[in-house]
């Protein structure tokens, strides 16, 4: 989609997931073998990609 | 999500490598594995941990004295202890394959605790281990907390939150469309 930032979205989503998992780990919410270490960064990278692709549409929604 | 201590050595080594409260579980055992680990903190406090204990507390220390044994002597055996971090495993120690022609059923030693674990904040580490030979095998897991300082835990939490905030800001930015250039020369 023209005008979006899918790469920035995927990149930011991936690191958001990574840091969130790290926070959970440091706060002892999860153990070191938790599947969230893999799942959360990938899931949020996909979410970020979609958000980046849909940015123009989201912007139109915001304006209306 | 779990398994540790295979044979004698395994169980003990695993225990040492980490520290604080935890739970251990031998998930499979056909040869009677058992083990202990003794850790002495800098202030002289000594703690002995049984590999089969459901809760252990180990102080921060440079090394640990471990002992392991099996009721049924195994031959052509091997084993290892690993630390799991997400999808990645880090090997903390391994033995064999060896024939064990001396029919040894016990093992002892001193294991240096990795500096990374000693410096890390108090978190829940998962260790897994196994020992297997012709006569049988045992395997188990253990969740251990490294006794961490308040400073290291605080620093890690702040770093994690800062990273989370920066990444969240990036995601918000990605949700806004690119603006066409509206500047211009000569204005």
pLDDT higher than 50, residue B21:
no
What Rg value do the Cα atoms of chain B yield, rounded? 23
Supply B143's token pair.
Answer: 């969740």
- Bridge partners, B140 (sequence order): B26, B129
CA dist list (Å): A20 to A24, A27, B118, B122, B150: 6, 10, 23, 17, 20
Task: Please write the tens of the pLDDT for every residue from A30-59.
Answer: 888 889 999 999 999 999 999 999 888 888
pLDDT at B126: 82
Of A3, A16, A38, the CB nearest to B167: A16
User: Under an 8 A CB cutoff, do A55 and B168 touch?
Assistant: no
Mean pLDDT, rounded, of chain B = 76
pLDDT value at position B180? 65
Q: Which of B126, B160, B173 sits opposite A26 (nearest CB)?
A: B160
ipTM above 0.95, yes or no: no
Candidates B129, B143, B140; CA nearest to B91 is: B129
Chain B residues interacting with chain A (CB cutoff of 8 angstroms) = 1-2, 83-87, 121-126, 128, 143, 145, 153, 156-157, 160-161, 163-164, 166-171, 173-178
Cβ separation of A37 and B87 shorter than 8 Å? yes
Closest Cα in chain B to A18: B164
Q: What is the pLDDT of residues B112-166, one digit of tens each?
A: 877 767 777 778 888 888 899 999 999 888 877 777 666 777 888 889 999 999 9
What pLDDT shows up at residue B55?
Answer: 55
* pTM score, whole prediction: 0.72
| Band (B185; pLDDT cuts 50, 70, 90) | low
Among A17-31, B27-41, B69-83, name the one with the lowest average pLDDT. B27-41
Instruction: Using pLDDT thresholds of 50, 70 and 90, give the confidence band for residue A2.
Output: low
């Amino acid at each position: 989609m023209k005008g979006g930032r899918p790469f920035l979205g995927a990149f930011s989503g991936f690191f958001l997931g990574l840091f969130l998992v790290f926070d959970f780990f440091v706060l002892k919410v999860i153990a070191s073998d938790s599947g969230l270490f893999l799942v959360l960064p990938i899931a949020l990278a996909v979410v970020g990609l979609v958000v980046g692709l849909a940015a123009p549409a989201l912007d139109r929604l915001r304006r209306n | 999500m779990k398994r540790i201590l295979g044979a004698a050595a395994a169980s003990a080594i695993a225990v040492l490598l980490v520290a604080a409260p935890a739970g251990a579980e031998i998930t499979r055992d056909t040869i009677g594995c058992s083990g202990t680990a003794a850790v002495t903190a800098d202030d002289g406090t000594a703690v002995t941990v049984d590999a089969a204990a459901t809760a252990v507390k180990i102080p921060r220390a440079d090394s640990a004295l471990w002992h392991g044994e099996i009721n049924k002597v195994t031959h052509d055996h091997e084993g290892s202890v690993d630390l799991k971090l997400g999808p990645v495993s880090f090997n903390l120690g391994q033995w064999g394959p060896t024939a064990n022609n001396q029919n040894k059923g016990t093992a002892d030693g001193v294991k240096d605790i990795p500096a990374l674990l000693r410096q890390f904040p108090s978190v829940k580490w998962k260790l897994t281990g196994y020992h297997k030979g012709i006569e049988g095998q045992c395997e188990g897991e253990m969740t251990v907390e490294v006794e961490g300082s308040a400073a290291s835990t605080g620093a890690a939490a702040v770093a994690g939150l800062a990273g989370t905030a920066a990444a969240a800001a990036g995601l918000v930015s990605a949700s806004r469309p690119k603006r066409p250039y509206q500047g211009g020369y000569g204005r």
